Structure 1
Amino acid sequence: MSGSTRTRKVVVTQRFFDTATCEFLAAHHCETIIAELPPGKGDGDLPETALQDLLADADGWIVGHAHVTDSLLRVLPRLQVIARRGVGYERVDVEAVRRHGKVATIAVGGNDACVADHALALMLAVAHRLREGQARLGAGDWSIPMGTDLYRKTVGIVGLGRIGRGVVQRLRGFEAHILVCTPTPDEAYGRANGIRYTDLDTLLHESDIVSLHAPLTPETRFIINAAAIEKMKPSAIVINTARGGLVDDRALLAALELGRLRGVGLDVFVSESDPYYRDVSSALIALPQVVATPHSGASTVEGLDRTNLIAAQSIVDVLSGATPATARVVADGRTLPNQHNKGET
């Protein structure tokens, strides 16, 4: 690497890191160190001091949900690259990455298919009341909870990135009527796939199912709030496999308790980043018309293998002095003067 074959240390603070990716890293002169995480905890639950200890000698870091902060990077001068095993990077301080002369990447293309599958699974599970049916059977009650079709329903998709497009492709098999709200409509794609672009209010008013696939930004935070829910049909279903902050879960809970929505499928929660909402998450999960999963949409064997390898490829690229594919790079401070000592006291 850069004329040297010395072994570089790559620390992985995620579970389910496959052997083939470890072998790929080894073939490129990288030693893989997989951190031991506390039972039931992820790297996002580790205090910064623990991360400092784990990463003290790391050249590369494959990270899950830990916060990548200025104060952490400041004490890790050897660390060159931070590779997210995923595509969201709201917990990465990209300006700090640049300031400290490091590179941050995401695993674009690794989990698109499995998250799109998961969104469809939640749509079907909520529409067919699968949770309620199994609960009744478990109680010895064989009465039938009456569901509703996904077939030929109107589905509104908020955000049309890679996962949103994957959901579109899957919905075509259900002959769904697809509405899309996105800031940058691709008219050719819309014509080819029979979708109709519209504003958010129209989408909320007309949709039988609203599925969220937008990034979390200040503009999209709580895009589904009490006012938005009031515009929806009482028979509507909300699906969120994107980011918890897109939906005000407190407003969602109130609407479900009042019968203002048919049901909800959630893979993400506000409480993942805001402890104030933990009681709200617990109340949502307890409702029979809610199908909830623990942010597991991207966690299939195949999906994790793909994202592991993409993250590892980005690590190898950076440590060898190359640049990862443009779509994978969210911050590259190598072209800037290293400023991490400026202004420090």
Structure 2
Amino acid sequence: MSLPSNRKIVVTQRFFDDRSLAYLRAHGFAVELAPPPPGKGDGDLDMDMLRRMLEGASGWIVGHARVTRPLLEALPDLKVIARRGVGYDRVDIAAARDLGRVVTIAAGGNDASVADHTVGLMIAVGRRFRESQANMLQGDWSILSGNDLCEKTVGLVGLGRIGKNVVRRLSGFDTKILVHTRNPNPADADLQGVEFIDLPELLRRSDYVSLHAPLTPQTRFLINAAALGAMKKGAILINTARGGLVDDAALLEALRTGHLGGAGLDVFVSEDDPAYKPVTDALLALPNVVATPHAAASSHEGLARTNLVAARSIVAVLNGETPPPGTIVADGR
């Protein structure tokens, strides 16, 4: 049976929950679930496959697929692209506007999940969880001495919704929090216990540096060899934002030489640049690196929240209503 004209929504993500599915159907939309093959994400699907999946759809709930001008031009019925997440560096925003499309993000949906993950990585690397378990599996139960997060200095690069959630969580650890942001919000000046400083000073003073900035041409490789060299010896780098913020080859060298004490990584340059895969593999092999596969937002609760924000955004746009606050990043209507 054919799907209703202009009421077809395609979801190219796994873990699309029943509540969000029911929400779309209750508003008169036919939903086609098209998750990628096992071991793949929708970012691994080529343009021809995406075009076939999305033919005739008016809405698309997308994860990490590249939304390019040629793809949008090939899909004239597609009116709204809803990211189940908050980054949109893989979406051609200018093309979406030019072609009359709307692009939304799941603003506020995964903030708590990524913030939890960030603090978890700080503790896991600092207390040497990976090294301890690896030794135990070899029969070595000797105790490795790690470092507390309590009363340390934590530098946050970027202070959006996720960064602010990290600030709130760190208050329970009696940390000193330093923040560098390129776009300071006057309302943030009153955040209790937060000191706003420039990036060189943040790198010099921080025991932990955690990245929460968007990936743009200006922020690509923001943490390069010089920045890593400026960090305190033994400091720990956490990246749950975007892989391109860090020059992973320079990070590998800083870890191998012992300048840095460790790294907690959820994102990698190789996600967008396959030439960096050997660097990623080498990072994963280091005992003082705790890594996850771009999974910081993927708790059951976080996915349910982002699914529903994406669903509400699509329904609102296609029904000519106002989407949830902060969700629209491109509006070509």
TM-score, normalised with respect to structure 2: 0.97
Change (3 A) 1:92 1:188: closer
SS at match of 1:193: coil
Q: Provide the C-alpha distance between the structure 1 equivalents of 2:176 and 2:218, rounded to a whole number of angstroms.
A: 27
Deviations 1:117-156 (A, max 9, x none): 0000000000000000000110000011110010000000
Q: Provide the C-alpha distance between the structure 2 equivalents of 1:203 and 1:260, rounded to a whole number of angstroms.
A: 17
| Unpaired runs of at least 5, structure 1 | 335-345
| Unpaired runs of at least 5, structure 2 | none
SS at match of 2:149: coil
Q: What's 1:224 paired with?
A: 223
Is the 1:111–1:304 contact (alpha carbons within 8 Å) kept by the matching residues of 2? yes
In the alignment, is residue 65 of structure 1 matched against residue 64 of structure 2?
yes
| Shift of residue 31, structure 1, vs aligned partner | 1.1
| Shift of residue 190, structure 1, vs aligned partner | 3.9
Give runs of aligned pairs for residues 83-94 of structure 1, distance below 5 A: 83-94=82-93
Deviations 1:175-234 (A, max 9, x none): 000100012334553444111110000000000000000111111111111101111111
Q: Provide the C-alpha distance between the structure 2 equivalents of 1:205 and 1:187, rounded to a whole number of angstroms.
A: 25
SS at match of 2:173: coil
Q: What's 1:144 paired with?
A: 143
Is the 2:59–2:81 contact (alpha carbons within 8 Å) kept by the matching residues of 1? yes
Q: What's 1:114 paired with?
A: 113
SS at match of 2:56: coil
Q: What's 1:29 paired with?
A: 28
In the alignment, is residue 303 of structure 1 matched against residue 329 of structure 2?
no
Q: What's 1:254 paired with?
A: 253
| Shift of residue 326, structure 1, vs aligned partner | 4.8
| Shift of residue 77, structure 1, vs aligned partner | 1.1
Aligned partner letter, 2:140:
D
Q: What's 2:76 paired with?
A: 77
Q: Provide the C-alpha distance between the structure 2 equivalents of 1:66 and 1:331, rounded to a whole number of angstroms.
A: 17
Q: What's 2:281 paired with?
A: 282
Q: Provide the C-alpha distance between the structure 1 equivalents of 2:154 and 2:6, rounded to a whole number of angstroms.
A: 51
Aligned partner letter, 1:165:
K
SS at match of 1:32: strand
Give runs of aligned pairs for residues 1-345 of structure 1, distance below 5 A: 8-186=7-185, 189-334=188-333
| Shift of residue 85, structure 1, vs aligned partner | 0.2
SS at match of 2:183: coil
Aligned partner letter, 1:138:
L
Range 83-92 or range 94-103, more displaced: 94-103
| Shift of residue 78, structure 1, vs aligned partner | 1.1
Aligned partner letter, 1:255:
A
Is the 1:244–1:269 contact (alpha carbons within 8 Å) kept by the matching residues of 2? yes
Deviations 1:94-115 (A, max 9, x none): 1111121111100000000000
Q: Provide the C-alpha distance between the structure 2 equivalents of 1:73 and 1:322, rounded to a whole number of angstroms.
A: 23
| Shift of residue 322, structure 1, vs aligned partner | 1.9
Q: Provide the C-alpha distance between the structure 1 equivalents of 2:194 and 2:324, rounded to a whole number of angstroms.
A: 30
Deviations 1:34-71 (A, max 9, x none): 10421100110001000000000211100000011111
Provide the aligned C-alpha RMSD in A.
1.2
Aligned partner letter, 2:259:
R
Change (3 A) 1:162 1:36: closer
Aligned partner letter, 2:234:
S
Alignment size in residue pairs: 330
Is the 1:155–1:177 contact (alpha carbons within 8 Å) kept by the matching residues of 2? yes
* Greater than 6 Å deviation, 4+ residue runs: none
Is the 2:6–2:77 contact (alpha carbons within 8 Å) kept by the matching residues of 1? no
Range 273-282 or range 183-192, more displaced: 183-192
Change (3 A) 1:331 1:189: closer
Q: Provide the C-alpha distance between the structure 2 equivalents of 1:175 and 1:318, rounded to a whole number of angstroms.
A: 44
Aligned partner letter, 1:208:
D
| Shift of residue 318, structure 1, vs aligned partner | 1.1
SS at match of 1:173: helix
Q: Provide the C-alpha distance between the structure 1 equivalents of 2:49 and 2:25, rounded to a whole number of angstroms.
A: 25
Is the 1:7–1:31 contact (alpha carbons within 8 Å) kept by the matching residues of 2? no
TM-score, normalised with respect to structure 1: 0.93
